[in-house]
Every structure is written in C-alpha cells, then in structure tokens.
Amino acid sequence: MTVDHQLSVTELTAGYGGTPILQGLNLDLLPGQITAIVGANACGKSTLLRVMSRLLRPDAGQVTLDGGSIHRMPTRALARVLGLLPQSPVAPEGITVADLVSRGRHPHQGLVSRWRRTDDEAVAAALDATRMSDLADRSVDELSGGQRQRAWIAMALAQDTDLLMLDEPTTFLDVSHQIELLDLLCDLNARRGTTIVMVLHDLNLAARYADHLVALRHGQLLVQGPPEDVLVERTVHQVFGLTSRIVTDPVSGRPMMLPIGRHRTRAESP
C-alpha cells in the first residue's frame, strides 16, 4: 500500500557524553512489519531508538534510510517519512487535543503555506482512529492517562509517516489501555502498511504483538527474529539473568514467558 522504506543501522556506536551505550550494532528493520526492541534496563533500547530517529548523533557508524544517512537529510523531509513518539512527552499547558494533534502536520506544511483540506482530513482520521474525536476541544491537561497517550498517538498518526517509532508507549497505562493501544498500532500496520518499531518492557506483549523481536544485551544485538525464535528460555536468561519457562500463549499461539523466582513456585508449596 505504501512505499516500503528501508532503515538500516551499521556498525553503530552511540552514547551520552562520550560513554558509549551501543557498541558496533548492526540492524536492518523489516519494512511493513511490527518490530519490538526488548532488553534489560539500561541495555540501550531507548538509545537505539533515539539514534534511529536522529534525535541522537552516533559516535561512529551510521543510520541510513533508503541508502542515505538520516543525520544528513533535511529534518523536515525526514519527518514526513519517519515519526517518533518519545517516552512520556509533555504537552504545552492549556493546549487542546485538536491543537496537539494538528501539530503532527507540521512537517507537511511549507514555511508560508496555509492549513489545507488534506491537513484537516489527516487530523480527523487520526482522531477517529484513536477515538478522540469527542474530546477534540478538551484541554490535554484534563485528560486521563490513557486518553492523553491516545492523543499523542493521534498526533503521530496525523504526521502520516511510513515509519513510526515509539518509546515504551504502554508505560503508565493500565492493562486494558495497553491492549487497546497495541491493537491500534496493529490496525495502523494492517491498514496503511506502516512500519512500526517500539521499545517494549513487557516481553509477553512484545511476543504477542510484534512480528519481529530484537533483543539487546549490554548495548549489543544478542538475537533477532520472529517471537518463536527469540523468546526462548536461554535468551531470557542471557538478557535478563532470569530463569523462566516458555509456554504457548493459549490466546495468540505465540510464546509466553513465565518467570521463575525463588518463591511461589509449585515445588515450594506443600
């Protein structure tokens, strides 16, 4: 349906203030698929997402979109292809939902060109898809956590990019809102063919919703592939240092991880 863009990471080293977090990482994103990046805290998941969305400059190596380095592309042109929702973004005080979502159209407007009909259509479609139309005139400050996150997703949808990256989009959401949000991203992927890349904390949700899992450890790519290949007991142990049992999720048929701790296991109970 849409043009498939190829985003590739080669020999990437990046970090903050000279301390490298990612070291010599290589990755090709699969166009038109949902990819989830998983790993322990501070393994470089967010850093990888920030470099891939040009928020952070690599210390070495590069990120290319269709062969060209994204750090050399005009930022506005790139913003028409690649969207990013950072972790817990902050809305300006007093801004309405409609206004916030409309800002997603920024890269599509020229320096002088005015608001057009297509902009309205994109914003309306984004509001409808996220079921935020009725709240369009409300102030973002007044929304609940779930509604607010939907408003931000709507902004990213209005940007209408072929690639969408999200940094832990389900943080601070209760379980029903998490599922709602991931379903929404699946819809987007199915209807528009949008390539989705997200950092997810919850391994089981990642395995259920992603077509492709990328597991990081200490700033390096440990393993990648379909959930069945990645979510195995050995990998969970390597990534998190955790003993676990993998079963088949009776709902989705995907693998599901059951952690094994020191307590509350069947062997322990009398």
Partner 1 sequence: MTSTTIGILQRGRRLRRGWRRAMIGGLLALLAVCFLLALMLGQSVTPPADVLRVLLGGDVAGASFTVGQLRLPRAVISILAGMCFGMGGAAFQVMLRNPLASPDIIGISAGASAAAVFAIVFLSLDGASVSGIAIAAGLGVALLIYALSFKGGVAGSRLILVGIGISAMIHSFIAYALARAPAWDLQEAMRWLTGSVNGARLDQAGLLLLVLLVLGGLLLARSRDLEMLRMGDDVASALGVRVGMTRMTVILGAVGLIAVATATTGPIAFTAFLSGPIAARVVGSHGSVLVPAALVGALLVLTGDYAGQFLLPGRYPVGVVTGALGAPFLIFLIIRANRTGGTL
Nearer to partner 1, 71 or 254 (CB): 71
Cβ at position 55, least distance to partner 1 in Å = 6
The tally of CA atoms less than 13 A away on the side-chain side of residue 34 is 22
Nearer to partner 1, 50 or 212 (CB): 50
Q: Supply 3's token pair.
A: 């043009």
Separation between Cα atoms, residue 35 and residue 249, nearest integer Å: 19
Nearer to partner 1, 48 or 256 (CB): 48
Cβ at position 155, least distance to partner 1 in Å = 8
- DSSP labels, 125-138: HHHHHTT-GGGTTS
Q: In the 8-state DSSP scheme, what is residue 107?
A: G
Cβ at position 196, least distance to partner 1 in Å = 15
140 within 8 A of 149, measured Cβ to Cβ:
no
Cβ at position 143, least distance to partner 1 in Å = 15
Q: Rounded to the nearest 10 degrees, what angle do helices 145-158 and 117-129 cross at?
A: 140
Separation between Cα atoms, residue 98 and residue 102, nearest integer Å: 6
Cβ at position 18, least distance to partner 1 in Å = 10
Nearer to partner 1, 17 or 241 (CB): 17
**Residues lying near partner 1 in the complex (CB under 8 A):** 16-17, 50, 53-55, 75-80, 82-86, 89-96, 98-99, 102-104, 106-107, 120-121, 123-125, 127-128, 133, 136-137, 159
Nearer to partner 1, 54 or 212 (CB): 54
- DSSP labels, 67-80: TEETTTS-HHHHHT
